[in-house]
Amino acid sequence: MCSSSTAGATTASPGWWGKPVYHYPLGKAAHEALVGAFAELTDGATGESLTLTVKGRPLLVPRAARATAWFDFAELCERPLAAADYLAIADRFAAVIVEAIPRLAPDERNPARRFNILIDALYEARALLIASAEVPPEEIYVAGDGTFEFRRTVSRLIEMQSEDYIANRPRR
């Protein structure tokens, strides 16, 4: 399940067959992989910030171009965002890059829950997820309140890297 110059990287398909979409551990190689993915997905556009309006509230997307958005994990999961925010992201962007997913400590239930909701939204929208993380999916949140529920997130993260998932996502 691992390949590429990033120690742990998994691959997907159409346009992404054989290309890594989940990079770990965090570091220069993982960051450069995300930079390359953003460039490929946006035909080299540099991207700029934009604001989505969700239920009358602003939601800042720090970097976006074409149908691709780039967020840091903290921007998405360490702030009090709700399902509506993640659904708006999934609806607006065909591809979402999430950088620097950490290993979550047992007391980080809220970021774990938000990440769960984010992944559910992206999965249901069949969005392409490209990510960098400190650890493989099954090691992100292993102890604490909500770890049983987080297993579905792990399963979806693994499936979202599969050729079948990528091949069957809508072209937006």
Domains defined along the chain, listed by start: 8-140+150-167 (3.40.50)
Best CA proximity match to 34, nearest among 46, 23, 49, 18: 23
Global pTM value: 0.91
**Eight-class DSSP state of 170:** P
| Least trusted range by pLDDT, from 8-17, 37-46, 73-82 | 8-17
Residue with tokens 């691992």: 2
Q: Which residues are paired to 101 by β-bridges?
A: 133
Q: What is the mean pLDDT of the chain?
A: 90
Residue type for position 116: N
Is the preceding peptide bond at 25 cis, omega within 30 degrees of 0? yes
Length of the chain: 172
Extract the tokens encoding 158: 């693994």
pLDDT tens by residue, 59-98? 999 999 999 999 999 999 999 999 999 999 999 999 999 9
Report the 10 Å Cβ neighbour count for 45: 14
Q: Are 59 and 51 in contact (CB under 8 A)?
A: yes
Best CA proximity match to 161, nearest among 7, 6, 9, 26: 9
